[in-house]
Structure 1
Amino acid sequence: MGIFSRLSDIINSNLNSLLDRAEDPEKMIRLIIQEMEETLVEVRSSSARVIADKKDAERRLNRLKSEALDWESKARLALDKNREDLARAAIAEKQSIDDEVIMVEKEFDSLDDHLAHLSEEIAQLQQKLNDAKAKQKGLLMRQKTVSTRMRTRGQLSREQLTDAFEKFEHYERRMDTMESQIEADDLGRDAKVDLKTEIDSLAKDDAVNEALEKLRKDMKQD
């Protein structure tokens, strides 16, 4: 089932209200445009049929008027020839045709009014369709803007994350450099030599202590 049940529903519709109530405005505007375009095709087809009927009525009207004039001419001729009976018959035929002319003229006027009404509806429908397409264009532009902003925001987030990683890697490199420097300073040192030196120091300390204790004893004896 379509969004609109009648042509008047389309003409009197409030696009903003329809889109505000829609869960998916983009889908709704596509459906609205599709139905408007289909309705416009139907109305134009109806107009084409009315135009054809109007042209047919016009042809019949011209033919009847021509026949009426012809019967009037025959009635005049009959009177000129003093044939009143024939003149009466010709006048009767003319009057019959005149009655038909009146009917066809009414039909022609009705078709003309109908065509004018359809033309007005087509104009209103076309305006509504233009408005709908403008709305659709606006929605697409908004969607494009939002998508661009989201991509930009995502790109900024990635750039910020990349910057943070780069700073962390830079800090790690500095730590590695400092540790490497310390390790480099220790290169070439003999662990055994360092141990011997430390033990020799302990022996020297013992010798010093013994000499100091001996000096104290000598001083007491004096």
Structure 2
Amino acid sequence: MFRFFKRMKTVVSSELNAMLDKAEDPVKMLDQFMREMGDEIREVESAVAKQIANEKMLKRKADDASAMVEKRQNQAEKAIEAGEEDLARRALQDKKEYEGQESSLHASWEQAKNDTEVLKSKLDEMKKEYQQMQIKKDSLKARAESAKTRTRLNRTMSSIGGDESKQGFERMEEKVMRFEAEAETSEDLKQASRTLDDEFKKLDNDVDDELAALKKAMGKE
């Protein structure tokens, strides 16, 4: 399991460019890697818990065997004092069997204790690496999101003022100029359509206005 965890760390550290080349979403892939690392840690935590339980069980059995050795020794001494040599012999024989059990159980407990320490050490190392990779993942995710944002921004900016937009503006400008030309033409046509009578009427209106102004000035209204 620990070797697999190391491999996962290598993937996250060295294969980001490969993911990008394959058009994989690095953010989703990093999250997937972290989930797999978390699963590995939980497996090791479970193994450590079982190992600790096994160690405690062996220690308890070894202590029980040691207690029986001491008990049979005391019983053998009491039997001798009571003149019960046969009973003392049986107690010493049973004591010898418990001594064998104690020795075997103690050796097993020592091995289990060493195995527990190794697993604990590996678990601590895995957790530290996981924390480091979590920080690196957050950094890589931020960089990936920043790169995506810059790409979207650059694409948007490059589209502004592009050929299509410029052509659209030019078409609208030409259309406005055409409207202006049509308005000027209609004014010219209006002027050209005025009759000779209209011109004299305007002239008469101008003389009447001038005469009224003169009379007013001379107080002859």
TM-score (norm 2): 0.69
Unaligned runs of 5+ in 1: 1-5, 194-222
Q: CA deviation at 1:171?
A: 6.1
Q: 1:51 is aligned with what amino acid?
A: I
Q: Which residue, out of 2, 16, 29, partners 1:7?
A: 2
Q: How does 1:13-92 map to 2 (within 5 A)?
A: 13-14=9-10, 15-22=12-19, 23=22, 24=24, 26=26, 28-92=29-93
Hey, what does 2:95 align to over in structure 1? 94
Q: 2:186 is aligned with what amino acid?
A: E
Task: Return closer, same or farther for 1:154/1:17 CA change in 2, 3 Å cut-off.
Answer: closer
Distance 1:21 1:118 in 2: 33
Distance 2:25 2:194 in 1: 80
- Does the residue aligned with 2:83 lie in a helix, a strand or coil? coil
Alignment: residue pair count: 188
Which moves more between the two structures, 99-108 or 42-51?
42-51
Task: Return closer, same or farther for 1:25/1:112 CA change in 2, 3 Å cut-off.
Answer: farther
Hey, what does 1:139 align to over in structure 2? 140
Alpha carbons 1:32, 1:132 under 8 Å: kept: no
Task: Return closer, same or farther for 1:19/1:152 CA change in 2, 3 Å cut-off.
Answer: closer
Q: 1:186 is aligned with what amino acid?
A: L
Alpha carbons 1:33, 1:133 under 8 Å: kept: yes
Task: Return closer, same or farther for 1:152/1:28 CA change in 2, 3 Å cut-off.
Answer: closer
Q: CA deviation at 1:16?
A: 1.9
Q: Which residue, out of 175, 180, 201, partners 1:177?
A: 180
Q: CA deviation at 1:179?
A: 4.5
Q: CA deviation at 1:115?
A: 1.0
Deviations 1:93-136 (A, max 9, x none): 21221111111111111111111111111122223323333333
RMSD across aligned C-alpha pairs, in angstroms? Answer: 3.1
Hey, what does 1:196 align to over in structure 2? none
- Does the residue aligned with 1:187 lie in a helix, a strand or coil? helix
Q: 1:10 is aligned with what amino acid?
A: F
TM-score (norm 1): 0.69
Q: Please tell me whether Structure 1 or Structure 2 has the larger radius of gyration of its CA atoms.
A: 1
Q: CA deviation at 1:163?
A: 8.0
Unaligned runs of 5+ in 2: 197-221
Q: CA deviation at 1:184?
A: 0.7
- Does the residue aligned with 1:69 lie in a helix, a strand or coil? helix
Alpha carbons 2:5, 2:40 under 8 Å: kept: no
Hey, what does 1:150 align to over in structure 2? 151
Identity %: 18
Hey, what does 1:211 align to over in structure 2? none
1:123 correspondence with 2:124 = yes
Q: CA deviation at 1:137?
A: 2.1
Distance 1:148 1:176 in 2: 42
Deviations 1:28-67 (A, max 9, x none): 4344323322222221221121122112112212221221
Distance 1:173 1:104 in 2: 101
Q: CA deviation at 1:20?
A: 3.9
Q: CA deviation at 1:74?
A: 0.5
